[in-house]
């Protein structure tokens, strides 16, 4: 039995404005209706796999459980990192957690934001790697390159690989991201594969590797796991111990120093969707190289990506060449395709200006559902709020604002001080400033309402919680 370990804490700034710190790319349906996280969980769910272990940040914990439920997958252990520390501490924490159940079991470490069209081929590669992992090898998976890519690191093999009959083979070394000339040489050699960041090893082998090659990580990560506390079905790593952990990747901490490495080649197609150029490539562009998504229209364009991420927003490209255009309700990106890797610099510029769009998603997700701001003025704001079946907002009050709720879909149960009432479609309720109130969905379908806020301060931090089903501070 193999335990999938899904790493799901990254921010994905190169796919701004669709991917942002508050709602990164793994949770977004970039290609089709399924999110990358859901696809990764489903890919590693079924015969031969045990319940997954997810490592993510506290801010994403309810998104993880909601998306697993949407994919029909029961969540296994969900480890919450107090802060991102790169992949090495996350993998070690997962190994220490799994050691309590099966110290010799296998764990497959997989980022949750990759695309793999040939899932059957990948599972066959995993089965091939499992034999080497049981023999004590630290197995990585290398992708057969189909172009001289400069955005990926590479793996150098001891001998040329045979794409038709992939076998676990010895790894000579890791190669950093090359320039274009070196990338072309490596592709032609037949001995280099893209480093996909996918790993398979036994719990015992990776623990021994950390003890040998990254001993400074072992003590603080061990304390963080030993002192972890349960929280509504999640397991929170101890923040004080975690604060002592160095931020370092698994490659740098262990894999580049170990001598018991093996690589399984995989030629079935793969992308980490690391930038908009990669998304364009995976979006099946037409004969003119044009890929569109949502309400997008291309006229006399070539080698261009056009995406509208809002049903009410039309994006039209006329006579464009080699351009990327992504339109969100609150931000638009227009860039030359050759500058796709530089989108993160746009995020940095917006952050320096204090622009909300740099990190915050227009639709803010909560454990009970989501809301979005429709209109905002100096002393008012209009929101759309959607509450999942059976979910409830916290019992709360506000110091600086009053609220009007108009139900437009479904029936809500509203608590207002000591009174509890049902409010149906086309009905409304007024929440005076300072009143204790709560909104619940007692039905089996989502409810939607329009909230009109009025007051001198409308920030999300103007909330005093008296009771919360989700144990938020």
The pLDDT, as a whole number, for residue 163 is 64
User: CA geometry: angle at 103 spanning 102 and 108, to 5°?
Assistant: 80
Q: Which residue in 160, 134, 111, 142 sits closest to 264, CA to CA?
A: 142
Q: What span, in angstroms and rounded, lies between the C-alpha atoms of 25 and 196? A: 17
Domain positions in the chain are 2-266, 282-353, 363-467
What is the secondary structure of 37-87 as a DSSP string? HHHHHHHT-STTB---EEEEEGGGHHHHHHHHHHTT----EEEEESS---H
Q: How far is CA 427 from the centre of its chain?
A: 38
3-state helix, strand, coil in the chain (%, to 5): 25, 35, 40
Strands 380-387, 369-376: pairing kind: antiparallel
Give the H or E element holding residue 328.
Answer: none
Q: What span, in angstroms and rounded, lies between the C-alpha atoms of 389 and 441? A: 5
Q: Which residue in 149, 148, 116, 112 sits closest to 12, CA to CA?
A: 112
Q: What span, in angstroms and rounded, lies between the C-alpha atoms of 249 and 259? A: 17
The pLDDT, as a whole number, for residue 139 is 95
- Is the CATH number of domain 2-266 3.90.550.10? yes
Say if CB 30 and CB 37 are below 8 A apart.
no
Alpha helices of 301-437 — where are they, by DSSP H? 343-353
Q: What span, in angstroms and rounded, lies between the C-alpha atoms of 34 and 13? A: 20
Cβ-Cβ contacts under 8 Å for 363 (sequence gap 6 or more): 23, 370, 371, 372
Tell whether omega for the bond before 462 is within 30 degrees of 0, i.e. cis.
Answer: no
Q: Which residues of the chain have pLDDT under 70?
A: 163-165, 473
CATH code of 363-467, in short, is 2.60.120.10
Q: What span, in angstroms and rounded, lies between the C-alpha atoms of 18 and 332? A: 10
Q: What span, in angstroms and rounded, lies between the C-alpha atoms of 78 and 9? A: 12
The pLDDT, as a whole number, for residue 164 is 63
- Chain segment 403-430, per-residue pLDDT in tens: 999 999 999 999 999 999 999 999 999 9
Measure Cα distances from 363 to 229, 310, 385 in Å.
30, 11, 10
Measure Cα distances from 200 to 132, 294, 451 in Å.
9, 37, 49
Cβ-Cβ contacts under 8 Å for 101 (sequence gap 6 or more): none
Q: Which residue in 273, 285, 283, 267 sits closest to 118, CA to CA?
A: 267
Say if CB 3 and CB 50 are below 8 A apart.
yes
Cβ-Cβ contacts under 8 Å for 106 (sequence gap 6 or more): 1, 2, 3, 130, 133, 134, 200, 201, 202, 203
Q: How far apart are the first and last CA of the chain?
A: 38
Say if CB 305 and CB 334 are below 8 A apart.
no
Q: What span, in angstroms and rounded, lies between the C-alpha atoms of 138 and 319? A: 50
């Amino acid at each position: 039995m193999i335990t999938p370990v899904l790493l799901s804490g990254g921010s994905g700034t190169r796919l701004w404005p669709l991917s942002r710190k508050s709602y990164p790319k793994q949770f977004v349906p970039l290609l089709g209706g399924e999110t990358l996280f859901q696809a990764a969980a489903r890919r590693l769910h079924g015969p031969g796999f045990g319940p997954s272990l997810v490592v993510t940040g506290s801010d994403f914990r309810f998104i993880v459980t909601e998306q697993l439920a949407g994919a029909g997958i029961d969540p296994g252990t969900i480890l919450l990192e107090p802060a991102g520390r790169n992949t090495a501490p996350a993998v070690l924490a997962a190994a220490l957690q799994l050691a309590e159940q099966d110290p010799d079991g296998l764990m497959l470490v997989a980022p949750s934001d990759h695309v793999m069209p040939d899932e059957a081929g990948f599972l066959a590669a995993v089965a091939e790697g499992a034999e080497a992992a049981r023999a004590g090898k630290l197995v990585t998976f290398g992708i057969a390159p189909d172009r001289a890519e400069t955005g990926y690191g590479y793996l150098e093999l001891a001998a040329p690989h045979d794409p038709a009959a992939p076998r676990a083979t010895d790894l000579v070394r890791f190669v950093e991201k090359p320039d274009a000339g070196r990338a072309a040489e490596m592709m032609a050699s037949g001995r280099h594969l893209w480093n996909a960041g996918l790993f398979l090893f036994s719990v015992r082998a990776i623990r021994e590797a950390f003890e040998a090659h990254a001993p400074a990580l072992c003590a603080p990560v061990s304390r963080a796991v030993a002192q972890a506390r349960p929280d509504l079905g999640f397991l929170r790593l101890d923040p004080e111990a975690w604060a002592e952990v160095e931020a370092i990747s698994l490659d740098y901490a262990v894999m580049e120093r170990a001598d018991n490495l093996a690589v399984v080649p995989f030629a079935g197609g793969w992308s980490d969707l690391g930038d908009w150029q990669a998304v364009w490539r995976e979006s099946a562009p037409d004969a003119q190289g044009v890929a569109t998504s949502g309400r997008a229209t291309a006229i006399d364009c070539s080698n261009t990506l056009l995406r509208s991420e809002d049903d009410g927003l039309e994006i039209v490209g006329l006579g464009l060449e080699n351009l990327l255009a992504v339109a969100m309700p609150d931000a638009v990106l227009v860039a030359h395709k050759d500058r796709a890797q530089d989108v993160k610099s746009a995020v940095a510029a917006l952050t320096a200006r204090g622009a909300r769009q740099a990190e915050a998603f227009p639709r803010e997700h909560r454990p009970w559902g989501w809301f979005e701001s429709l209109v905002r003025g100096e002393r008012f704001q209009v929101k759309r709020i959607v509450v999942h079946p059976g979910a409830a907002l916290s019992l709360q009050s506000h110091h600086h604002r009053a609220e009007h709720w108009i139900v437009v879909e479904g029936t809500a149960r509203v608590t207002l001080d000591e009174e509890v009432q049902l409010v149906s479609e086309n009905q409304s309720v007024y929440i005076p400033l300072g009143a204790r109130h709560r909104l619940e969905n007692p039905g089996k379908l989502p409810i939607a309402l329009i909230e009109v806020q009025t007051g001198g301060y409308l920030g999300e931090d103007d909330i005093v919680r008296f009771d919360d089903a989700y144990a938020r501070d």
